[in-house]
Amino acid sequence: MSVRRLAEDQFQPAAFAFNKENAVWAEKTIKKYPEGRQQSAIIPLMMRAQEQEGWVTRAAIETIADMLDMAHIRALEVATFYTQFQLNPVGTKAHIQVCGTTPCMLRGAEGLVKVCKSKINSHAFERNADGTLSWEEVECQGACVNAPMVVIGKDTYEDLTPERLEEIIDAFSAGEGSKVPTGPQIDRVFSAPEGGLTSLTTEAPKAKSASSKAASSTSGKVDAAPVPPSEAARPKSTDAETNAALKTPATAPAAAAKNAKAAEAQPLSETTAAEPVKALASKTESTQKPALTDKNRPAGIEKPATPDDLKLISGVGPKIEAILHELGIFTFAQVASWKKAEREWVDGYLNFKGRIERDDWIKQAKALAKGGEAEYIKVFGKKPR
């Protein structure tokens, strides 16, 4: 990307102000952003300033920065970074942007550039003698299937030839640019094939009317569906969870007995009565939390005056931290001291399925217990969380 600088002082106006209509628009636009985030409106405000003045002046940049309570240098960084902002005066009647990316180049963009050099100025960004026209070469404008093309203002002019571009430039020079049709400049509709469609040339069959459907249904020629349409694509399942007789989740230990009795009374199709009961029991056992009286439960402590922020451990959020507090876990040192059996107990209690090992809670807790955030950065190369 070339270095982008503001125009020389001789071209810069002394001041800038939005006209009445744009001032109202700018105020509404700024209010779209949350309190303290109004600086996010800088790009739309700069675009509106460019549309009003034709280009982005130093005065416009500084005025918009003041409106958004920004340092002038921050606004200048935005203006000079994005090539959509014109930092020098452009043609008052038309600024032509010629796409020079591969598809357009293969389709004749070089010929369009030659036209601009001959009819406007031999150098990009330089205006013609009366200051009404200017041009530049830009990157892809998203109309590759209609290459080559140019953009003037907010409109695209596609499928161009050098001769057609000359006609367009002459029209804008004469102040009749609004009469030039936008889009494809040849016999095609948008991106459809030139000369008309080559596929989908036949009309789709008309849908049957409601009356014809009713007649066919009463004629007896169409058999009724063997199963309701809503059930037609549903796969058969022998899982206890899909049995309509089991009204409560299998994960509720207190309801396991009731589920088992319901399964015995109404077994699933194509299975014996014992099968869903076994599946249900195994499901309940596998998801049941370990007992709080288990010998492998980590030892808890009384809540200290200033407990550690366990949320600094990756994998611990506010909810998990609250559960750990209920278990008497308040410090990094406690977590760092967990043995394998204790880690497995906590993992099962939280239903983490190995997450404590995957996230390496122990290593994280040891670093935080040893030296806080600084030690964590030293060990992991990043800030906690």
Residues 345-385: tens digit of each pLDDT: 999 998 888 889 988 999 999 999 999 989 998 888 888 87
Q: Which stretches of the chain are DSSP H helices? A: 20-30, 42-53, 58-67, 72-81, 102-106, 109-119, 162-173, 210-218, 229-232, 256-265, 274-287, 318-326, 332-336, 340-349, 355-358, 361-380
Beta bridge partners of 95: 134
- The pLDDT, as a whole number, for residue 270 is 45
pLDDT tens digit string along 253-300?
666 666 666 655 554 444 444 455 455 555 555 567 888 888 999 999
Q: Which residue has the higher pLDDT, 17 or 268?
A: 17
Average pLDDT over residues 159-166: 96
Query: Quick check: 70 pLDDT over 70?
Result: yes
The predicted model gives 156-179 an average pLDDT of 95
The fraction of the chain above a pLDDT of 90, given in percent, is 61
Residue 209, pLDDT score: 65
Is the separation of the CB atoms in 68 and 38 below 8 Å? Answer: yes
Mean pLDDT, range 135-153, rounded to an integer: 94
pTM equals: 0.51
pLDDT at 177: 92
Is the model's pLDDT at 234 over the cut of 90?
A: no
By C-alpha distance, which of 88, 102, 76 is closest to 136? Answer: 88
For residue 100, the one-letter residue type is G
> What is the average per-residue pLDDT within 131-155?
94
Q: 57 or 238: whose pLDDT is higher?
A: 57
Of 152, 61, 150, the closest CA to residue 104 belongs to 150
98 or 251, greater pLDDT? 98
